[in-house]
Amino acid sequence: MTKYKKLRNPKFTASNIILNIVFILIAFVCVFPVLLTIGISVADESSIIAHGYQLIPEQFSFSSYEYIWQAKDTVLRAYGVTIFVTVVGTVMSTLVLAFYAYAISRKDFRYRKAFTFYMFFTMLFGGGVVAWYMVITTILHLKNTIWVMILPHVMNGWNIIVLRSFFTSAIPDEMIEAAKLDGAGEFKIFFSLVMPLSLPGLATIALFQTLGYWNDWTLPLYFITKPELWNLQFLLQNMIANIQKLTENAGGMYSVAQGADVPVEGARMALCLIAAGPIIIVYPFFQKYFIQGLTVGSIKG
């Protein structure tokens, strides 16, 4: 009887074993490019030319990181800009999105349909890049300011939909009514009741916004001409795109001494790791809320 129970244990069913194998393969496919990037970044340039990309290089060398280290002041400044933009932008946008989504999730909000329509309309139609550029530069005067990398991403229609669905599913109307009967105002209800109960949904949206701010390089491309305001992604995009040219221009800001060999392939991979490293470290702290926030928010819209 004991052997029969062991055989019937769900952990040992054929479907679970197959699923585990499939997910192990998927995990390997996701992790392998990262490991390969690490291997290339610590490989000697001559080894890459002779043997191609290898997970374990024939010859190890940290010349790629030494090359990047020569531009450490520029890279660290770009890191500072990116961290400031990401932290301030994530906090600001998550709060604004939460206010908007909570308002349109309340059935007793008089202008709920109007604000919902406005949000959907902006998702479907836009004024175009030229009109957007003119508004930011000539009306808001945000060009060459750090706020031009924050404010355009504060609102996001899709994230509002996800967060509104979460509020509708996770916060019962009866709980709101009970808080009102106890004398709580709207802001008291939102910050003391709704926010603590909505951590999974808020963490999910915060992760989306964090990734958006961290990986964005288009806003600096359009609106930033001062190198001291370049964020990390725009700086690295420029360095990767022009690294071959920099090898021929020893007077460039990021180039090494005259006549020295530049690890072109290794430097590109090292730059990718430098850009992705902090997000890889931060993601596990959001993961416990991420799946719960998406699944609860998708129960009903």
- The pLDDT assigned to 290 comes to 60
More confident residue, 194 or 244: 194
What pLDDT score does 259 carry?
A: 37
CB 102 within 8 Å of CB 84: no
Separation CA 152–CA 147 (nearest Å): 9
Tokens coding 158: 């899709």
The yes-or-no verdict on residue 93 having pLDDT over 90 is yes
CA dihedral over 155, 161, 167, 170, signed as positive or negative:
negative
pLDDT value of residue 278: 75
pLDDT, tens digit, for every residue of 184-231?
888 888 888 888 888 888 888 888 898 889 988 899 999 998 888 988
- Amino acid identity of residue 228, one-letter, is E
pLDDT > 70? residue 19: yes
Task: Provide the residue count of the chain.
Answer: 301
Q: What is the pLDDT of residues 117-173, one digit of tens each?
A: 988 888 888 778 888 899 999 999 999 999 999 999 999 888 898 888 888 887 888
Burial environment of residue 215 by CB neighbours within 10 A (0 to 12, 13 to 18, 19 or more): middle
Whether residue 220 contacts residue 144, with contact meaning beta carbons closer than 8 Å, is answered with no
Which has the closest alpha carbon to 232: 85, 38, 91? Answer: 85
Mean pLDDT of 242-259: 50
Closest CA to 294 of 213, 208, 221: 208
Task: With a cut of 60, say whether residue 112 has pLDDT above it.
Answer: yes
Q: What pLDDT does 86 receive?
A: 92
Rounded to an integer, what distance in angstroms lies between the CA atom of residue 174 and that of residue 141? 45
Confidence band of 254 (pLDDT split at 50, 70, 90): very low
Measured CA to CA, the distance from residue 2 to residue 10 in angstroms comes to 14
pLDDT at residue 286, as a whole number: 66
More confident site: 223 or 288? 223
For position 250, what pLDDT does the model report?
A: 44
Per-residue model confidence (pLDDT) at position 208: 87
Do 122 and 100 touch, CB atoms closer than 8 A? no
DSSP state of 149: G
- Percent of the chain scored above 90 by pLDDT? 18
- The predicted structure's pLDDT at residue 298: 47
Instruction: Say how far apart CA 227 and CA 123 lie, in whole Å.
Output: 33
**286 or 267: which leads in pLDDT:** 267
Burial 262-274 (b: 16+ CB within 10 A, else e): bbbbbbbbbbbbb
